[in-house]
């Protein structure tokens, strides 16, 4: 149970990092 919760939290962190990466490269030409 605890390991599954930590895995879900790590997946959320990976999704947020990917979104930030995509947003940065999308907005980079305008900055």
How confident is the model over 1-31, as pLDDT tens digits?
A: 567 889 888 998 899 999 999 999 998 887 6
Residue 18 burial by Cβ neighbours in a 10 Å radius (0-12, 13-18, 19+): exposed
| Residues 18/24/25/30 CA torsion (nearest 10 deg) | 160
Q: What is the pLDDT of residue 3?
A: 75
Whether pTM > 0.75 for this model: the answer is: no
Question: Tokens 């930030």 correspond to what residue?
Answer: 20
Instruction: Report d(CA 30, CA 18) in Å as an integer.
Output: 20
């Amino acid at each position: 149970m605890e390991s599954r919760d930590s895995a879900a939290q790590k997946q959320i962190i990976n999704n947020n990092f990917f979104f930030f990466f995509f947003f940065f490269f999308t907005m980079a030409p305008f900055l």
